[in-house]
């Protein structure tokens, strides 16, 4: 049944924005995906490097990590460049840690061997949901990088144990909405990010009361919506990865 409520961009409450995962966006990275969630554009580049961080050396196991940034004018108002300010902000730290954790959750580090895959997620344009677009796109870039390692015989066993996708959900004016854009996110009472495996399990759930605390019924409603969103994104990931490189 069609919901009569109309979102600012005409979507149904349970509708994703148009999502595009464009592989091989740049030439040099071992995996390179432009993830578009509506007007949010995140370039996700995967780089394969020999070796692992000092605390892991000599165990024959690999590592996956991520860095995140927004171009200064990705947003409606320009933000100061972090490199010029000389440090990364707290939001940047929080998001890049989330991306790294999310990807590590589906990797078999023994199968990867003593190498590091680093995901650079750079936001070209920001209209809400940059971290979920980053995770969803970074998974495809990671899969491409791993595909390359397998194709060249550098690794034998596939280290990908599952896939991972992420979406935001929120309570806006008392209503559960999927995949919030910036305008919706700014007025949301509750903001939640779900990171889920392709097989339907949770990797991360982060719900935050922005305007007012929320109850269990609302939490369950948001969770249900996010689940469906992640499932749709998983299908899209499978579809783009099924195309030849």
The binding site for phosphate comprises 91, 129-131
Q: Binding to a second copy (CB under 8 A): which residues in 49-88?
A: 49, 67, 69, 71-76, 78, 81-84, 86-88
Instruction: Rank residues 1 and 212 by Cβ distance to a second copy and give the closer one.
Output: 212
Between the CA atoms of 104, 108, 112 and 114, what dihedral angle is there, to the nearest 10 degrees? Answer: 70
User: What is the C-alpha end-to-end distance of the chain, expressed in Å?
Assistant: 39
Q: Which is nearer to a second copy, 209 or 236 (CB)?
A: 209
Burial of residue 61 (number of CB atoms within 10 Å: 0-12, 13-18, 19+) = middle
**CB 159, min distance to a second copy, A:** 15
Nearer to a second copy (CB atom), residue 1 or residue 213: 213
Any contact of residue 158 with a second copy (CB under 8 A)?
Answer: no
Q: Would you state the structure tokens that stand for residue 103, as one six-digit string?
A: 């990807």
Identify the residue among 27, 50, 54, 244 touching a second copy (CB under 8 A).
27
Distance CA 56, CA 58 (A): 7
Binding part of the chain for a second copy, among 12-20, 114-122, 128-136, 236-244 by CB under 8 A, reads 114-122
The span from the CA of 44 to the CA of 60, in Å, is 26
Element of type H or E holding 27: none
Nearest Cα to Cα of residue 104 among 33, 164, 192: 164
Among 1-9, 52-60, 90-98, 171-179, the segment contacting a second copy (CB under 8 A): 90-98
Helix (H) or strand (E) run with residue 190 in it? strand 190-197
Binding site for a second copy (CB under 8 A): 26-29, 32, 39, 41, 43, 45, 47, 49, 67, 69, 71-76, 78, 81-84, 86-94, 96-97, 101, 105-106, 118, 120, 122, 124-125, 162, 196-197, 199-209, 212-216, 219, 223
């Amino acid at each position: 049944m069609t919901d009569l409520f109309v979102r600012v961009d005409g979507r149904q409450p349970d509708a994703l924005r148009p999502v595009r995962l464009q592989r091989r966006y740049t030439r040099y990275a071992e995996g390179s995906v432009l993830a578009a969630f509506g007007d949010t554009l995140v370039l996700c580049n995967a780089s394969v490097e020999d070796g692992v961080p000092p605390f892991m050396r000599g165990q024959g196991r690999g590592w996956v990590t991520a860095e995140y940034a927004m171009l200064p004018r990705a947003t409606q108002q320009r933000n100061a460049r972090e490199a010029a300010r000389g440090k990364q902000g707290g939001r940047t730290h929080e998001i890049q840690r989330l991306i790294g954790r999310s990807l590590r959750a589906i990797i078999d580090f023994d199968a990867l061997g003593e190498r590091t895959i680093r995901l650079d997620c750079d936001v070209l344009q920001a209209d809400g949901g940059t971290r979920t677009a980053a995770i969803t796109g970074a998974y495809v870039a990671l899969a491409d990088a791993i595909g390359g390692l397998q194709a060249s015989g550098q690794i034998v066993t596939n280290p990908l144990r599952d896939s991972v996708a992420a979406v935001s959900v929120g309570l806006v004016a008392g209503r559960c909405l999927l995949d919030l854009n910036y305008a919706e996110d700014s007025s949301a009472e509750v903001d939640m990010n779900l990171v889920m495996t392709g097989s339907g399990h949770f990797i991360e759930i982060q719900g935050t009361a922005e305007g007012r605390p929320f109850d269990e019924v609302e939490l369950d409603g948001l969770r249900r919506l996010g689940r469906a969103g992640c499932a749709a994104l998983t299908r899209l990931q499978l579809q783009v990865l099924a195309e030849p490189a």
